[in-house]
Homo-oligomer: A and B are copies of this chain.
């Protein structure tokens, strides 16, 4: 129909030969990237607007060859990337890539099916049901949260989505009792260490801003919530006519890796008819090792649990497991049944007990994420994944011990998983402000070297440096080098022994 390079390309965009050739070029590009990424500064020296200025104001009229595009990725884009997969990335939390995660994503992207309901692709729904049960069993969850025990799971893109969906489910369950006006009385509880997604999620689902409680934590409880402090807040709210709705317990907080006591909070939640959500976004991966499973003791009291395989489980972005004890609570808040999605050949889904995942999440369209997690679990197995997690825990402990053996530093919160939180100590009483400035300069110096990238947190008014171990490429030598780098920069910014 059309002649000439570009239009012809778009008209035969899945020609197997072109597909193979161009895809292989991308594979080579990425293999080179993985080989070289260690040599790049982890954070780019990219002035705002620099890449933007290199890009034309409009797309090309005619298509261009893949080589030209890849060359531009190499020259324009890669130098302005923060290298999350580099072995010296210790910022935020890790976001693991792996060959298996990549292969799974390629299969999902290549098949490009949209399994919003079983009828739209039966294999995808059944694989997802199987794989969330697999993952839940590995992580030591109670059967009550698995399909095999009457609960069930779904793969979302992010914890935020899981939080919005569970908040909407809890809200609608409460409003069916209280009526619409009840929304003004619902209260959500989290700690000052909980992820900001809970506050954002509560706002998204319409909980008044003034009904979000941030319960303070202290060093005494390792920055975990105490049931007493939550109970006080809940009782005060009940006394003023409010309705406790939802309580968030975190296993492995973002700032410090703290752990809330799931059993205590679960019992409190039961007593007050609250929905308990356990957020194990990061540390959920560690739960596959029996030595960490005590952190979710009491999980049978939770209404929902979430964790992100895309953080520390070798599963490329994005993938978040959400398990719920009552799928019906979720689907009654989120289900839609327009005519264009009814199935002309099968019995109605609800009636037949079929899982239609569109009713377990925000979006209708959804990628085939189960393929990715399934390939990871098959390729590496339970033993492989445990070895992977334990290696990082070991590295983090080595770094923590190095800090403890050096009089200049202090570890701020105990390293429970693979996140180390530390700072230069004050030299004498009362120089807290000065030492904060010193720590801030230390972090800027470490990051400015391009040889590592860490982020920070503030707790009890103290500036804290976070070193999150967990990247797929990290080896012990990178952690050792980073320790040397921290010592070198500490000297540069003027840290001295007390």
- A344: B residues at CB distance < 8 A: 440, 443-444, 447, 455-456
Selected from B17, B35, B81, B381, the residue in CB contact (under 8 A) with A121 is B81
Q: Which of A199-207, A230-238, A292-300, A479-487 contacts B (4 or more CB under 8 A)?
A: A199-207
A 175-197 binary contact with B (CB < 8 Å = 1; else 0): 00000110110000000000111
A443 to chain B, nearest CB (A): 6
Stretch at the interface among A122-130, A215-223, A322-330: A122-130
Binds B, one of A50-58, A261-269, A396-404, A408-416: A50-58
A340 touches B205 (CB 8 A): no
Pick the contact of A183 from B22, B50, B55, B183 — CB < 8 Å? B183
**Segment from A107-115, A272-280, A422-430 that makes contact with B:** A107-115
> Contact at B61–A382, with CB atoms within 8 Å?
yes
Within 8 A of B (CB), among A344-393: 344-345, 352, 354, 362-368, 371, 375, 377-385, 387-388, 391
Main secondary structure of the interface of A (DSSP, over half): helix
> Does A106 sit within 8 A of B, measured CB to CB?
yes
Interface size of A in residues (CB-CB distance below 8 Å):
178
Could you mark each residue 80-117 of chain A with 1 if its beta carbon is under 8 Å from any beta carbon of chain B, else 0? 11111100000110011111111101110111111000
Q: Quick check: is A46 within 8 A (CB to CB) of the other chain?
A: yes
**Min C-beta distance of A96 to chain B, whole Å:** 8
Residue pair A13, B100 in contact (C-beta under 8 Å): yes
Q: Is the CB of A48 within 8 A of B184?
A: no
Q: Does A138 contact B (CB under 8 A)?
A: yes
Chain B residues positioned under 8 Å from A334 (CB to CB): 200, 204
Contact of A59 among B134, B200, B310 (CB under 8 A): B134
B363 lies within 8 A of A161 (CB): yes
Partner of A6, one of B80, B180, B209, B384: B384
In-complex Cβ contact of A13 among B1, B98, B341 (8 A): B98
What are 13 residue pairs bridging A and B, where the CB atoms are less than 8 Å apart in the complex? A11-B391, A22-B99, A48-B354, A60-B382, A61-B381, A95-B365, A105-B105, A106-B109, A109-B109, A158-B364, A160-B363, A255-B338, A344-B443
Cβ contact of A95, chosen from B20, B96, B112, cutoff 8 A: B112
Residue A208 is within 8 A (CB to CB) of chain B in the complex: yes
Query: A141-164 toward B: CB 8 Å interface, digit per residue (1/0)?
Result: 000000010000000011111001
A306 at the interface (CB under 8 A from B): no
Q: Chain A 1-41 against B: per-residue CB contact (8 Å), 1 yes, 0 no?
A: 11000111111011111111011111111111111000000
A378 to B72, CA, bound (A): 11
**Docked complex: A239-277 residues within 8 A CB-CB of B:** 254-255
* A133 beta carbon closer than 8 Å to chain B: yes
Complexed CA–CA distance, A84 and B109 (Å): 12
The yes or no answer to A418 lying at the interface (CB within 8 A) is: no
Q: A69 near B: Cβ within 8 Å?
A: yes
Contact partner, A84, options B83, B121, B130, B371, Cβ 8 Å: B121
Of A85, A206, A473, which is in contact with the most chain B CB atoms at under 10 Å from its CB? Answer: A206
Q: How many Å from the CB of A157 to the closest CB on chain B?
A: 6
Residues of B within 8 A of A135 (CB): 59
